[in-house]
Structure 1
Amino acid sequence: MKKNTQWTAGDILAEAKVCEEHLACLYNAAALAARSEKIRRDMLDILKDVHQLHHDIDMVMQRRGLYTFQAADPTEIARIRQQLG
């Protein structure tokens, strides 16, 4: 986290992305530990929302040119599929 400097939109979005990743881990652990089916479903619903937020942050960052996705090489995908069987 930056200290004593001005935060840019990119800094804020990157920090939000890290927070969403931590939240996803916590809600996943809560869903796994839940003894009640209702609580487990609720945790999974929240986890789904967290995943959507993470995706939304990625899309905003990409639109602003702050984050780029590397296109997958079809040959490499085929090779890995073959390895995994």
Structure 2
Amino acid sequence: MFLEIITPDEKIFKGEVDHATFPGSEGSFQVLNDHAAMVSSLGKGDLKMVITHDKKTKEVHMGIDGGVVEILNNRVLVLAEHVDR
């Protein structure tokens, strides 16, 4: 699925991921390919994404300070207030 992470200042990430885990305002949740369409608020916490490239899997963690996530047709858009890489 395609994930894009944007803050008011810059684009943080744009690319394909295997799955991602988000710090929802009511608890964390995971998004996989073919996830149902949804919009959710994000709280402060750890955003984790798993990326496979050339048969190597890498887990990337970023701290976010709230925002929203939109999931639609295997595209995930995160509008975050602030991201710590």
Structure (1/2) with the larger helix percentage: 1
Question: Which structure has the highest strand share of the two?
Answer: 2
Specify the TM-score bucket, using the shorter chain as the normaliser: under 0.3
**Could you tell me the TM-score, scaled by structure 2's length?**
0.19
Q: What TM-score results when the alignment is normalised by the length of structure 1?
A: 0.19
Greater relative contact order (CA < 8 Å, ≥ 6 in sequence)? 2
